[in-house]
Structure 1
Amino acid sequence: MITIDWKRILLNDLPSLFLIEVVFRSLIMFTILLLALKIAGKRGVRQLSVFETVIIIALGSAAGDPMLYEDVGILPAVVVIVIIILFYKTITWLTSKSKKFEKFIEGKTECIIDDGEFSLDSFKKESLAQDEFFLELRMKSIEHLGQIKNAYVETSGEISAFYYPDDEVKFGLPILPQLYDKKSAIITKNGLYACAFCGKVSNLTPTKANCSNCNHTEWVEAINTIRKA
């Protein structure tokens, strides 16, 4: 075997004219895939749920192979795409008829922050890490949890937040790294501190303290700056 055989590398021992067939196959499969997504509807090309992501991956796999491989026929791929779209339509119809089935397929929206503190039960259910969640909030120009009345993890995985009016902003857990990284189990002066884990704000004196909400021991000095739009 030749170490670098450019004909084998570039064409896999296929005739050069097969490139014309690849162009033809690609145009056909791209058109079919485009029509399939049109039939699936706009929802299928917005923020995707887990189910929709699986559908898109399946469609991509069904469309990709016939574009490149001479031993994969176009008609079997078309049948696969038709079956996937029919399956997608059937599932979306069932989700519109049954709330339980919809919850099973799509999941449900979880309230992850309630009145400026983490909702511990919801946070434990989500795979979202605290650092990742703080990143999402910072991208919305949020500096601390006291600015947030409620925050939700939507079924698409996106974070939606609802804010307190400026005159109702509370003291809360800072999520800016330069402030949050100062968390400590030792309280050095009297003041309002937020639990570094759940965000509960407490008035503490110099001591070591356990959070009454989650029993964690690390605290960050709470702040109450208003949100900058």
Structure 2
Amino acid sequence: MAMLYLDTVMKLALGLGALLIVTRVLGKKEMGQFTPFDFIYALVLGALLEESLYDEKVSLWQMLFGVAVWGVLIYIVEVIVAKNSHLRKFLKGTTARIIKDGELNLEKMKKNHLEMETLRTMLRQQGIFSLKEVRDLYLEPSGTISVKKHPSAEPPTAEKLQLEIDDEAPSILLIDEGRIEEDMVELIGKSKNWLLKELEKEGYPDIGRIVYAEWSKTEGFYVKTYD
């Protein structure tokens, strides 16, 4: 009996250590940044530990082996996904622009199974109580929303101060560590050739030198290179 309790303690201690190592290797993420894919691999890791605790036939080394194999598999998938935009889009999803320039896209709401009251609840959680305040709204792969208000709705509002402010479109990440974010390029209705030509005009013919490049409709490009 004592050996059974000792085995349970060892499984818990070593299992916890193994899970912490795996999650550290796979990278830091807040719960709000978890995609459905991230949730699945975290769920399976927890299930591996749980199964080993209540099944005496599963030895301590079998548990650690299972956690290690699962961690390696997920790490390989993460590496492949980082290099393949199409696979990343399939596994982790893409950002959906639900509101553009104040116009609500009902088709994209239905496609993402987002109800109006759910959207309004998410907005209220960000201190926004009317859709008329929203210029652009993005539904992120994690299920959270990112919002850009109309300039007149930002505190202190230009409307109250009687100031005329030029509208500013949101910036979009188009290059990340030398790689073109193809889904983001599609999101703004542009092509890869357009991006390459525009960057060349800006003095960046080699995208491999670019750490990141942002673009907005009103402000244009903002580029940082490894140099």
TM category, shorter: 0.5 to 0.7
Q: CA RMSD in A?
A: 2.1
Are the structure 2 counterparts of residues 139 and 44 from structure 1 closer, same or farther at C-alpha, using a change threshold of 3 Å?
A: closer
Q: 2:122 aligns with which of 136, 142, 149?
A: 136
Q: Which residue does the alignment assign to 1:158?
A: 144
Q: Which residue does the alignment assign to 1:105?
A: 91
Q: Matches of 2:106 and 2:34 in 1, distance apart?
A: 26
Secondary structure at the aligned position of 1:42 is classed as coil
Q: Matches of 1:46 and 1:92 in 2, distance apart?
A: 19
Q: 2:55 aligns with which of 60, 69, 81?
A: 69
TM-score normalised by structure 1 residue count: 0.62
Q: Matches of 2:30 and 2:14 in 1, distance apart?
A: 21
The alignment status of 1:146 with 2:128, answered yes or no, reads no
Higher helix share: 2
Amino acid at match of 1:104: F
Please show how residues 52-63 of structure 1 align to structure 2 within 5 Å. 52-63=38-49
Are the structure 2 counterparts of residues 18 and 79 from structure 1 closer, same or farther at C-alpha, using a change threshold of 3 Å?
A: closer
Q: Matches of 1:44 and 1:70 in 2, distance apart?
A: 34
Unaligned runs of 5+ in 1: 1-14, 170-229
Please show how residues 163-178 of structure 1 align to structure 2 within 5 Å. 163-166=149-152, 167=158
1:55 positional shift: 0.4
The alignment status of 1:123 with 2:112, answered yes or no, reads no
Q: Is the 8 A contact 1:115 1:150 kept in 2?
A: yes
1:21 positional shift: 2.6
Q: Which residue does the alignment assign to 1:35?
A: 21
1:19 positional shift: 2.5
The alignment status of 1:22 with 2:26, answered yes or no, reads no
Unaligned runs of 5+ in 2: 153-157, 161-227
Q: Which residue does the alignment assign to 1:78?
A: 64
Amino acid at match of 1:21: D
1:134 positional shift: 0.8
Secondary structure at the aligned position of 1:108 is classed as coil
Secondary structure at the aligned position of 2:87 is classed as helix
The one-character-per-residue Cα deviations of 1:105-147 (angstroms, maximum 9, x if unpaired) are 1111000112223112211211222211110001111121111
Q: Matches of 2:31 and 2:89 in 1, distance apart?
A: 20
Q: Is the 8 A contact 2:81 2:88 kept in 1?
A: yes
1:168 positional shift: 6.7
Amino acid at match of 2:91: I
Amino acid at match of 2:103: E
Are the structure 2 counterparts of residues 40 and 138 from structure 1 closer, same or farther at C-alpha, using a change threshold of 3 Å?
A: same
TM-score normalised by structure 2 residue count: 0.63
- The higher radius of gyration belongs to 1
Amino acid at match of 1:86: V
Tell me the number of residue pairs that the alignment of Structure 1 and Structure 2 aligns: 155
The one-character-per-residue Cα deviations of 1:136-179 (angstroms, maximum 9, x if unpaired) are 0011111211111000100111111001112479xxxxxxxxxx
Q: Is the 8 A contact 1:113 1:119 kept in 2?
A: yes
Q: Is the 8 A contact 2:22 2:71 kept in 1?
A: yes
The alignment status of 1:92 with 2:78, answered yes or no, reads yes
Q: Matches of 1:100 and 1:29 in 2, distance apart?
A: 34
Q: Matches of 1:140 and 1:28 in 2, distance apart?
A: 40
Q: Which residue does the alignment assign to 1:7?
A: none
1:46 positional shift: 6.2
